[in-house]
Structure 1
Amino acid sequence: MDDWTTMHVDQVDVTTENVAALIQEQFPQWSGRAIQPLSSTGTVNAIFRIGDDLSARFPLRLADTTEVQAVLEQEARASAELAQMSPFPVPEPVALGKPGAGYPMPWSVQTWLSGTIAIDADPSASDAFAEDLASFIAALRNADTHGRVFDGDNRGGVIADHDDWMAQCFQESEGLLDVPRLRRLWSRFRELPRTAADVMSHSDLIPNNVLVAGDRLSGVLDTGGFGPADPALDLISAWHLLQPGPREVFRRTLACDDLEWERGKAWAFEQSMGLVWYYVETNPTMSGMGRRTLDRLLESTD
């Protein structure tokens, strides 16, 4: 594929020519705008900037059209809901596209946010950034769940439910990581009890999804996963994004107790273990991010 590196065996090709044709067919009001593929370390969508104020997102992994449509509709609802209470800029849904022009699935259009992602503009030493990040999470936690609870998909429920996935990660990580040490850490993390009720959560606060201006948080991306989950889930950001000093500022700002803090470590560990081996060849930046986070977690337990 000419615009995106292949990261998955079931990955779908999407090119600038596909995008231009889809826009011409389905959204002619935007035809003639410059289309720019974004060089991204993201793993779920190919993203193209459309003119100055829009971005188009194309799922990379082939899936049933009806299922993809349902996911995109749910993500649009979640993004619109998060936008209503976020104290920082976030993308807002604009339109949903249909399959066509050589691309076999539905796709989405959002508003474009300017800024530099945190993986390219490292804010990890900034206390002010840590306070901003905590303020964002606090605002989401204060949102009404409207009686919703965690849907059981991916991270955000019972830590030990991920044992099978972690067993695969440990097996795949032989020769890449200190697996015996990491197994011992997981054996402790998986026992951490769940005591707090679900709150609203971004659910994937990794550096790719956080925008930085100077040493401050300027926006948050990939908001379609907004929903109820373990309050500790968004604490993964402390380990992906912050050095020890700012991490303590972050913790004090959110008033995290010991159990919540340890569960945040567990979710960051579960995510990072998968990143290292899965993307070691196809997305070295993402794999390296996982390694860095695991190093921070290990340092915190020494």
Structure 2
Amino acid sequence: MSAGKMHADEIDLDVDLVRGLLTDQFPHWADLPIRPFASSGTVNALFRLGDDLAVRLPRVEWGIEDVAKDHVWLPRLAPLLPVPIPTLLGQGTPGPDYPWPWSVYRWLEGENPLEDSLEDPRSLAADLAGFVAAFRAVDLPDGPPAYRGGPLSAMDAPARSAIKDLHGMIDTDAATAAWDEALRVPDWSGPPVWVHADLLPGNLLVDRGRLSAVIDFATTGVGDPACDLIVAWSVLPASVRDDFREALAADDAAWARGRGRALAIALIQLPYYQHTNPVMAANARHVIREVLADHARTGGQRSGTD
């Protein structure tokens, strides 16, 4: 894998390539300043275009289906959600030097929350609960299956493989025990609901401590509502976790599935990104610590298994 790349099949992207695509397809934007934007995103590269726009291009072939998904669903979801989400302004097509579809969006202001230094965690917990509740209430037919929106057992093999890879880096016995407990929780048996399914810090924007926007809807679809509880461990501190839970009326089984899903995602991400994406790896370590501490405090209580 080349230096600076996260995936073995990732292609090279730079300002000249972006300007060439704009010149050919959106010449009215081609003279605007273009600069790479550093982010923890793993599937797409982002470039600022002037002050108000962003160009977003898949880094890898397995990300190109998300472009069409955004074009279909983002305009339908936007009016139903309480904070801004990406607004599509231009739908790019493959060019001579770039093989896949790409997009131009309106730029959304804000900063990614820092999980260990939130300005107003209680208000952010309320904002996140409001967003999750609004998403669950979406009534749009024929929604796609949410990525990772099915039973936890679908994540079992990669989670256990990751635990082996993390030997010596984390408490693998505690991680195994927590994961085993999560798998004993009953699966969601109700109708699937709309979920974002990837509420990690890199997909959230905050302004003065409050949620100002949510981005990256590649994982969005219908599935287990516990998918969006992962933010309780990926962002929120233990001091406001119960506030978030109570606002969403999460029962024991849902809470345990959310915690298990947060753990599995972090376990899988850490060995993959530990050398190529320090922000993603740091959050994975944070989530593992928070989940294992939570598990140690509660044991089997309120887990949905007792």
Query: Structure 1 length as normaliser, TM-score?
Result: 0.91
Q: Which whole-Å CA distance do the structure 2 matches of 1:175 and 1:259 have between them? A: 31
What SS class does the counterpart of residue 277 from structure 1 fall into? helix
Determine which of 214, 217, 233 is the counterpart of 1:220. Answer: 214
Deviation per residue, 1:109-128 (Å, 9 max, x gap) = 21110111113894275201
Does the CA contact (< 8 Å) of 1:76 and 1:224 recur in 2?
Answer: no
Structure-2 residue corresponding to 1:199: 193
- Describe the superposition over 1:208-252 as per-residue Cα deviations: whole angstroms up to 9, x where unpaired: 011111111111111243211110000011110111122111111
**Secondary structure of the residue that 1:217 maps to in structure 2?**
strand
CA distance in structure 1 between the partners assigned to 2:204 and 2:172 by the alignment = 30
Change (3 A) 1:120 1:126: closer
> Paired residue for 1:173?
166
- Residues 1:71 and 1:23: Cα distance change in structure 2 (over 3 Å): same
**Contact 1:41/1:283, CA 8 A, preserved across alignment:** yes
Q: Give the Cα–Cα distance (whole angstroms) in 2 for the partners of residues 106 and 147 of structure 1.
A: 23
Is the CA contact (8 Å cut-off) linking 1:211 and 1:220 kept in structure 2? yes
Does the Cα contact within 8 Å between 2:150 and 2:224 map onto a contact in 1? yes
Counterparts of 1:81 and 1:7, CA distance in 2: 32
Cα distance in 2 between the residues matched to 1:120 and 1:27: 38
User: Is residue 155 of structure 2 the alignment partner of residue 162 of structure 1?
Assistant: yes
Structure 1 unaligned spans of 5+:
none
Checking the alignment, whether the CA contact within 8 Å between 2:43 and 2:60 is kept in structure 1 is yes
Q: Kindly provide the CA deviation profile for residues 9-50 of structure 1, in whole angstroms up to 9, marking residues without a partner as x.
A: 111110011101110111101111111210111111100111
Shift of 1:169: 1.0
Name the stretch that deviates more: 273-282 or 53-62. 53-62
Q: How many residues of Structure 1 are paired with residues of Structure 2 in the alignment? A: 295
CA spacing shift, 1:76–1:120, aligned 2, 3 Å:
farther
Give yes or no for the alignment of 1:117 onto 2:112: yes
Q: Residue 5 of structure 1: CA displacement?
A: 2.7
Cα distance, 1:49–1:236 mapped onto 2, change above 3 Å = same
CA distance in 1, matches of 2:22, 2:72: 22
The answer for the alignment partner of 2:252 in structure 1 is 258
Taking a change above 3 Å as real, the CA distance of residues 120 and 138 of structure 1, as seen in their structure-2 partners, is closer
Q: Does 1:211 align with 2:210?
A: no
1:62 aligned partner: 61
SS in 1 for 2:61: coil
- Aligned residue in 1 for 2:43: 44
User: 3-state SS of the aligned residue for 2:243?
Assistant: helix
CA–CA separation in structure 2 for the residues paired with 1:270 and 1:26? 41
| Aligned ranges 1:82-97 → 2 under 5 Å | 82-97=77-92
> Paired residue for 2:300?
none
Change (3 A) 1:79 1:59: same
**What amino acid does structure 2 have at the position aligned with 1:231?**
P
The whole-number CA distance in structure 1 between the counterparts of 2:121 and 2:193 is 27
Relative to structure 1, the CA distance from residue 71 to residue 127 in structure 2 (aligned partners, 3 Å threshold; closer, same or farther) is closer
- 1:182 matched residue in structure 2: 175
Question: 1:156, 1:76 → 2: CA distance?
Answer: 21
Q: Could you tell me how far apart the structure 1 residues matched to 2:49 and 2:112 are?
A: 18
**Residues 68-87 of structure 1: matches in 2 within 5 Å?**
68=64, 70-87=65-82
- Runs of 4+ off more than 4 Å: none
2:299 corresponds in structure 1 to none
- The change in CA–CA distance for 1:121 and 1:165 in structure 2 (over 3 A counts) is closer
The CA deviation at 1:145 is 4.3
Specify the code of the residue in structure 1 equivalent to 2:83: F
Question: What letter corresponds to residue 202 of structure 2 in structure 1?
Answer: N
Instruction: Provide the alpha-carbon RMSD of the alignment.
Output: 2.1
- Over the matched positions of the two proteins, sequence identity in percent amounts to 35
Q: Give me the whole-angstrom Cα distance separating, in 1, the residues matched to 2:148 and 2:137.
A: 20
TM-score by length of 2: 0.90
| Aligned amino acid, residue 274 of structure 2 | V
The one of 130, 133, 139 equivalent to 1:144 is 139
Q: Does 1:28 align with 2:27?
A: yes
